[in-house]
């Protein structure tokens, strides 16, 4: 939503224009849900165009892997939570191809600093006692949820299932903790 002028379909461009009239750029992740609605409308408009095209139903669909090399591949793509990067290295052992290295840099990892910055921007100067535990939880969770973090994806594993902890730190000391 920050990088494009128009999406190129009627209804999605109409929604994008209304969205931009309401909010300035650059858009923050707090607007992800709004952006996803516009992108979903755009996707369905594109799918309808494709499905109405008779050429879609003709020709070969299988790509032959001629000339593939066993090396390293790095790529990035837009995923629902943000940009997702892959770094893959394949090797051949006794005629069998195996993945020797597979690294993923997830949107959650990329967004960690922005999540913290948004929390700081919202909470600094607020009287957290006046918010109460429920109010504080609601504020913090609404900010974090706008980024839609996936900690299992970000860490590549889940070692234990744990709760959610909010720590209020003042002058380097933890003054209040809420564990859920």
Q: Above 50 in pLDDT, residue 110? A: yes
pLDDT number for residue 157:
43
pTM: 0.46
Q: Residue 47: which region, alpha, beta or left (left: phi > 0; alpha: psi -120 to 50)?
A: alpha
pLDDT at residue 161 in the model: 46
pLDDT at 14: 95
Binding annotation for Ni(2+): 150
Cite the beta strand spans of the chain per DSSP E: 72-79, 82-93, 96-105, 165-170, 173-179
Give binding residues for Mg(2+) as ranges.
104, 156
Q: What is the mean pLDDT of residues 86-98?
A: 80
pLDDT in tens, 21-75: 888 777 777 787 788 889 999 999 998 988 888 877 777 655 555 555 667 888 8
Per-domain boundaries in the chain: 10-57, 72-105, 107-179
Q: What are the residues whose beta carbons fall under 8 Å from the beta carbon of 35, sequence distance 6 or more? A: 1, 19, 27
Known binding-site positions for Fe cation:
153
pLDDT at position 99, please? 80
* Binding residue positions: 104, 150, 153, 156
């Amino acid at each position: 939503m920050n990088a494009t002028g128009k999406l190129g379909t009627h209804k999605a461009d109409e929604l994008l224009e209304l969205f931009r009239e309401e909010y300035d750029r650059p858009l923050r992740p707090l607007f992800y849900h709004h952006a996803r609605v516009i992108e979903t409308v755009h996707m369905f408009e594109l799918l309808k165009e494709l499905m109405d095209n008779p050429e879609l139903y003709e020709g070969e669909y299988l790509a032959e892997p001629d000339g593939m090399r066993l090396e390293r591949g790095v790529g990035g793509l837009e995923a629902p939570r943000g940009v997702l990067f892959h770094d893959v290295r394949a090797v051949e052992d006794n005629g069998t191809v195996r993945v020797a290295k597979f690294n993923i840099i997830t949107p959650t990892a990329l967004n960690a600093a922005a999540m913290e910055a948004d929390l700081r921007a919202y909470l600094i100067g607020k009287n957290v006692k006046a918010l109460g535990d429920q109010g504080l939880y609601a504020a913090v969770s609404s900010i974090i949820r706008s980024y839609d973090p996936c900690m299992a994806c970000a860490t590549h594993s889940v070692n234990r299932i744990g709760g959610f902890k909010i720590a209020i730190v003042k002058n380097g000391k933890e003054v209040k903790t809420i564990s859920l």
